[in-house]
Structure 1
Amino acid sequence: MSINDSFGIPTYVASESRYEKMKYRRCGNSGLLLPMISLGLWHNFGHTDDFNKARQILRTAFDYGITHFDLANNYGPPYGAAEDNFGRIFKKDFKAYRDELIISSKAGWDMWPGPYGNFGSRKYLIASLDQSLKRMGLDYVDIFYHHRPDPDTPLEETMGALHHMVQQGKALYVGISQYNAEDTARAYDILKELGTPLLIHQPRYNMFDRWIEDGLLDVLGQKGIGSIAFSPLEQGILTNKYLKGLPEDSRAVKDARYLKSDQITPEVLDKVAKLNAIAESRNQSLAQMALAWVLRDEKITTVLVGVSRASQLLDNIQALDNVDFNADELQQIETILKA
């Protein structure tokens, strides 16, 4: 490899064995396979983060068969920064591999001032996708999501906008995020009538947040909709990071937007310690077991992880070595979580 870019980083050539290092699942009833571990750019890809470290994380991900990079219009900071930085990295490293990648983006949260920069109107969603494509330097995204339900915009308008994006060729597939079971079924039916399948749902799901088990997973299975679980590690709580308290460099201390220190109570830490003991008995880290637990149900197509360094990503990928649980392990976990 020759050093020939302005950052002094060797030209990227993807590992020839990348597809031997990852396991894939079919996304619902579609023809699309997704890696069982997907990389989210929610954190660590903003303008305040280390660009070269972000670049190395993306390179490592693809070298290990992670073909799915998940973004959104407001990932940063500031808003749009993650897409902007991804676009710079894509141009340098991944343009030759575009047809091997699944690149997703979303809109639904606040993005710009005024009445047209939030929620789920046709005006907002179409404008946001156009902006995202420009930032990333892409002709299309593989998946475009409505990022959250809009209580005021008719669901027909929101789904119609997603259908329009597919017709325009600006998105190959569409999805939704954080919708409940009833609205997911309605969204599926509206899109089916329009002629665009609802490919995937992105819900929050982990050992401590199990709301999708109350009906949504059943809808996904019945309708043949894939799923990608975000926050599978509960923003780091389901790792060994907090076993001995709050490290000064932890997200709970540094950035309370996503994880507040008062979430990490003695009761939570007691559960984490007991879960960690089960993980050790499985020869896994707690993070690996937590990812495997989410993936134990094949209705979960993939889990979405965010990492601050490449070594964390490699640790997460090792979770796929054992995603099976025996009945005793599952019962022990249930007892701990319900205590």
Structure 2
Amino acid sequence: MSYLPAPTRYDAMAYRRSGRSGLKLPVVSLGLWHNFGGVDSLENAREMIRRAFDLGITHFDLANNYGPPPGSAEENFGRILAQDLRSYRDELVISTKAGWQMWPGPYGDWGSRKYLVASLDQSLKRMGLDYVDIFYHHRPDPETPLEETMGALDYIVRSGRALYVGISSYNHEQTRKAAKILKELGTPFIIHQPKYNMFDRWIENGLLKVLKQEGIGCIVFSPLAQGMLTNKYLKDIPADSRAAKAHGFLSKEDITPERLKKIRKLNEIARARGQSLAQMAIAWTLRYPTITSALIGASRVEQIEDCVAAINNLEFSEKELKEIEKILAG
């Protein structure tokens, strides 16, 4: 039976403008960093993407190396897109990135024009797309001139491979320089994708200010700190968690007794707000108007449903924010 998206998919989701651009993103977006690769269940991935779209998530975020193995998340997304969402392409914002190692040799990593253009061409082929909506440089390159990397992003837009461009994990000084170059080129630089959550707050030290000044949106990844800011770790480390996976990005060493104590206290505040810990953690990242969207990951449909429900309570009282700060500083 062919998939028909829910007719109510836009009724509840909130959308925010990305900086001063014309593009709006759902406040909760779905990232395919984990659980959508070749080692994972394609049918489960398909169910999650379909349910996400039914809930108003229009933005799906990928990268060339997502999997494992690298490239397989894009391949699987391409299959699901062809099977279920091809006729809804104009309702979707699809992004991908390049900047980490993707193939052997000097041309499969970092930020050269050679690598970025070739990588995006491969990504488009894997996903079966003519263009992506947003293409990111995935991380700063200390050796390639910033003018070359930004010039490649400009070329990618002008050649029709992407509608907009962004950067990921650049600090505030690098971001300001990139914005200046792209502005002079006339390239639609609309978004930055940094890591941000209650345990990793580096963007508050200058980056958010630059993004606001430059009119650039912000979509934060790992808002749940790789699952730590959920009910998953309130007791112990489950066998199916990222901390227990060999190819995960969270180790058992990350979950210290001190951190578990903070997580449990934060969970008490969330319960008092009528939210799950995950919902409160997402709402907390969205408390700044500069932040356009929180980019979630998921391993099953129920996690997406739980995260999306964060939009039902995005406001914090001053008392709640002070209590959270006290816990995090403890």
2:186 matched to 1:203? no
Confirm whether residue 71 of structure 1 aligns to residue 57 of structure 2. no
> What's the CA shift string for 1:52-102, capped at 9, x where partnerless?
110010000111110000000000010100000000111111110011100
Query: What TM-score does the superposition give when structure 1 sets the normalisation length?
Result: 0.96
Given that residues 204 and 230 in structure 1 are in contact (C-alpha distance below 8 angstroms), is that contact kept between their aligned partners in structure 2? yes
Distance in 2 between residues matched to 1:147 and 1:249, nearest whole Å: 28
Separation in 2 of the partners of 1:181 and 1:189? 12
After superposition, residues 11-160 of structure 1 pair within 5 angstroms as 11-160=2-151
Give the TM-score normalised by structure 2: 0.99
For residues 242 and 187 of structure 2, what CA distance do their matches in structure 1 show?
Answer: 39
Matched residue SS, 1:334: helix
2:260 & 2:282 partners in 1: Cα distance? 18
Match of 2:316 in 1: 325
Aligned residue for 1:139, secondary structure, equals coil
| 1:126 alignment partner AA | V
Aligned to 2:304: 313
Q: Share of identical aligned residues, percent?
A: 65
Once the two structures are TM-superposed, the CA of residue 17 in structure 1 deviates from its matched residue by 1.1
Q: Distance in 2 between matches of 1:21 and 1:147?
A: 31
Q: Distance in 1 between matches of 2:320 and 2:12?
A: 27
After superposition, give the CA deviation of every residue in 1:240-269 in whole Å (9 maximum; x if it has no partner).
Answer: 111111112211112364001011000000
Do residues 299 (structure 1) and 287 (structure 2) align? no
| 2:241 equivalent among 243, 250, 253 | 250
Distance 1:255 1:269 in 2: 22
Distance in 2 (alpha carbons) for counterparts of 1:21 and 1:331: 29
Following the alignment from structure 1 to structure 2, what is the Cα–Cα distance between the partners of residues 251 and 159? 34
**Superimposed CA distance per residue, residues 212-243 of structure 1 (whole angstroms, 9 cap, x where no aligned partner):** 00000000000100010000000010011111
Which residue of the partner structure matches residue 219 of structure 1?
210
**Preserved contact between residue 61 and residue 313 of structure 1 (Cα < 8 Å):** yes
Give distance in 1, aligned partners of 2:242 and 2:194: 21
2:183 to 172, 192, 213: 192
Distance in structure 1 (CA, Å) of the matches to 2:105 and 2:248: 23
> C-alpha distance in 2, partners of 1:193/1:248?
51
- How far apart in 1 are the matches of 2:210 and 2:76? 36
The one-letter code of the counterpart of 2:127 is M
CA offsets per residue over residues 188-225 of structure 1, 9 Å max, x none?
Answer: 00000001031100000000000000000000000100
For 1:229, the aligned partner's letter is V
Partner of 1:287: 278
Q: Which residue of 2 is the match for residue 268 of structure 1? A: 259
Pairing partner for 2:219 from 199, 213, 228 = 228
| Alignment check: 8 A CA contact 1:86 1:136 kept | yes
Measured against aligned partners, the alpha-carbon deviations of 1:135-163 in whole angstroms (never above 9, x if no partner) come to 00000000000000000000000000000
d(CA) in 2 for partners of 1:126, 1:42: 21
Q: Residue 181 in 1 paired to residue 190 in 2? A: no
Question: Distance in 2 between the 1:266 and 1:223 partners?
Answer: 41
Q: Provide the aligned length of Structure 1 versus Structure 2.
A: 330
- State the secondary structure of the residue aligned to 2:34: coil
Alpha-carbon contact 1:146-1:175 (below 8 Å) kept: yes
* Equivalent position of 1:166 in the other structure: 157
Q: 1:194 to 1:27 in 2, by over 3 A?
A: same
CA distance in 2, matches of 1:121, 1:248: 40
- Secondary structure at the residue paired with 1:304? strand
> Helix, strand or coil: the match of 1:148?
coil
Contact 1:106 1:147 in 2 (8 A): yes
Choose 252-261 or 202-211, whichever is displaced more: 252-261
Write the distance in 2 (CA, Å) between the matches of 1:71 and 1:248.
26
Q: Is 2:232 aligned against 1:241?
A: yes
User: Do the aligned partners of 1:188 and 1:197 also contact (CA within 8 Å) in 2?
Assistant: no
- Gaps of at least 5 residues in structure 1 are 1-9
Letter in structure 2 aligned against 1:72: A
Which amino acid in 2 is paired with 1:162? L
